[in-house]
Amino acid sequence: MDAIFSEIFSTLGQWQYWLTLIVGVSCGLVLGAIPGISSTMAIALLVPFTFGMDIVQSSALLIAIYFATIYGGSIPAILFKTPGTPASSALIFDGYSMMTQGKAGRALSVAAISMLVGAMIGSALLIFAAPYISIVALKFGPAELFAMASFGIIVIVSVSDNSLLKGTLSALAGLLISCIGMDPMSGYPRFIFGATNLMEGIPFIPVLIGLFAISGALIRKTSTNKFNDVKVGFCELPSKKDFKKTLPTMIKSGFLGTFIGSAPGAGCDIASFVSYGLAKHGATKDDSFGKGEIKGIAAVESAKSACTSGALIPLLSLGIPGDAVTAILIGAFILHGIQPGPLLFENHAPLTGVIFTTVVFAHLLVFAVAMLSVKWSTLVLKIDERFIKASVLILAIVGSYALRNNITDVYIAFAFGVIGVIMQRGQFPVAPFLLALILGQMAEVNFRRALMLADGSFNFLFEAPIALGILLVAITFFVLALVKRFRKNS
Amino acid sequence: MIVNLILIFLAIGTLVSVKLFPESDAGNFPTLLAWAILILSITDLAISIFGKKQKTSNDTNDDEVFDNRSWIITISTLVYLLVMPYLGFIVSSGILCAIVLKAQNATSLLRALAFGFTLATIIYFVFANIMNIALPIGILN
């Protein structure tokens, strides 16, 4: 234990360590805020810089970038209705609504506080409960992953504002679009009609950019935002009332986000949408979800930051990367001769201690920068909205192109921009469509795998109690939403 | 209603395409989805034709309109995407940005062009030099 603490204090005393963290956080926030630059891409871009570093600095840089990009995506989602990362999409409903009401500073500061609370819950669970969570997470087979994907989609459909039917249709359309490309089981190219660029399927980042950023640029707003009337302090803190109101949501979402993040295959996108859906389900009469409710921001932000710590649980304790980002992280560890897994705690205990410390300090630094940047971020809104719209359109196009250096992705983004406009005019919610598109392949592949393992029998659900439980909870949510809607209409 | 018609067309197209798949279970999931979409779209269409009009929208803001200016921006963006590989990112983006600004009556043509080209040049250099992402250079090559 002494060796661990000695290593931690020695690392904390190095200026190079802090510089690495600051650079990682700054780069992560900027890259995360650019639509199209996902956390995976940001880390992939900066991995070459870690080759000359030792493992402590290297892991500090990559972890800082990971956490910062996930938060960075929230800033454009709140300010411009353009999520920087898919995980931030759920922030649009309440974050952007708050911005249009002139409460951008409050929205950003609530987001930063929620990020910190969720991150601290996630970090505490990572440090103290990783082995136990890993045991449960390891039980996640195809049936459970299918149930988890279905849960995310059903929950977000059940909180559709307009009608459940339109929400369901939107989700089904997203699932159908996710079938485009090579069949993951047989390898047969489905619905590509000779377009080889679509072999890998419809990439969801251009879709996200199209649905939110490009459709927003195509539609004209008749009113202007009210931000010019509001003064934002250097570091705006949420009021005591806001904090008291959102704290229970932050805590619940923190635990939920950590658990979802720890399940291999389930990422921060699902965590943020599920958390938002659950918070909306538990809304009281005073809450105004979808119209600028701070609980909505707290739920999303807390869940996605907790999810980042949760994703490190299977990585560090089992050596299993849960998603693309942690796969790159595991590669960086291996590059430095460190094999994550159960033996990491035994063979490299001081290093593990330093990594845990990095997780905590990286989150704290993201929070500090986020709070200090509230004023500067909101100052952007002082610029004429029409100039912002033109800039967002160009940036959205570049973001789509940057994903694979492929013009097809830009065409996809534009097509979905038009689809986004049509959906909005037809009052079809876009969130179920997007989430279904993201989770479609996960749902289909795991459903078919589970069926194969059960020799084609649908009994696999009854043989997997966790999966059955998750699905039953999801169905309950849907039925409750249906009953609520029926009562409201009658 | 338009969305429902698109979805019905999509579902029928899927069911027809799936028939061309070789014997494998690659088409089962899309078939299931297509049937669900078909049934629900027809139901929604029937509701919107025969049902009572409801206005419970939160997603569609009343202050958002798709008018002639939106059409100009949409068509310009489409043309931009088609010419970008030939004209290059800086030239085409500068022009698109200026058109979008002019369509919104934001500023004079000269200022719009100046803003557009400055923005496109900055974005180009950030992406090309810092992030190592090569954007089309086109006629400036």
Of A333, A419, A234, A186, give the one whose Cα is nearest residue B3.
A419
Is the CB of A173 less than 8 angstroms away from the CB of B40?
Answer: no
Contacts of A391 in chain B (CB under 8 A): 97, 119
pLDDT of B59: 45
How far apart (Å, rounded) are the C-alpha atoms in residues A213 and A220?
A: 13
Of A457, A420, A416, A469, give the one whose Cα is nearest residue A202.
A416
Residue A383 touches partner B, C-beta closer than 8 Å: no
Residue A390 touches partner B, C-beta closer than 8 Å: yes
pLDDT of A209: 84
The two most distant CA atoms of chain A are separated, in Å, by 68
Better-scored residue on pLDDT, A400 or B95: B95
Q: Which residues of chain A have pLDDT under 50?
A: none
pLDDT of B120: 92
pLDDT of A162: 66
pLDDT of A221: 67
pLDDT of B37: 94
Residue A30 touches partner B, C-beta closer than 8 Å: no
Q: How far is CA B125 from CA A40, A276, A378, B120, in A?
A: 22, 38, 25, 9
Q: Say which residue the tokens 């929950």 belong to.
A: A155
B31-59 confidence digits (pLDDT tens): 999 999 999 999 988 888 887 655 544 44
A391-434 confidence digits (pLDDT tens): 888 888 888 888 778 888 899 999 999 999 998 888 888 888 88
User: What contacts A355, CB < 8 A, 6 or more positions away?
Assistant: A59, A63, A316
pLDDT of A399: 82
Of A149, A96, A218, give the one whose Cα is nearest residue A442.
A149
pLDDT of A215: 86
Is the CB of B57 less than 8 angstroms away from the CB of A165?
Answer: no
Å between B50 CA and nearest CA of chain A: 15
Q: How far is CA A97 from CA A29, A34, A90, A296, A371, in A?
A: 22, 20, 12, 11, 20
Give the helix, strand, coil percentages of chain B, each rounded to 5.
Answer: 75, 0, 25
Query: pTM for the complete prediction?
Result: 0.80
DSSP state of B69: H
Å between A17 CA and nearest CA of chain B: 23
What is the length of chain B? 141
Counted across chains A and B, CB pairs separated by less than 8 A come out at 181
The token pair at B136 is 């089309």
Contacts of A161 in chain B (CB under 8 A): 56-59
How far apart (Å, rounded) are the C-alpha atoms in residues A478 and A415?
A: 31
Nearest chain B residue (CA) to A409: B81
- What string of H, E and C letters represents the secondary structure of A80-108? HCCCCCHHHHHHHHHHHHHHHCCCHHHHH
Are A76 and A83 in contact by the 8 Å Cβ rule? The answer is yes
DSSP state of B60: S
How far apart (Å, rounded) are the C-alpha atoms in residues A70 and A325?
A: 11
DSSP state of B63: T
Are A73 and A28 in contact by the 8 Å Cβ rule? The answer is no
A87-137 confidence digits (pLDDT tens): 888 888 888 888 888 788 888 889 999 999 999 999 998 888 776 776 776
Nearest chain A residue (CA) to B130: A45
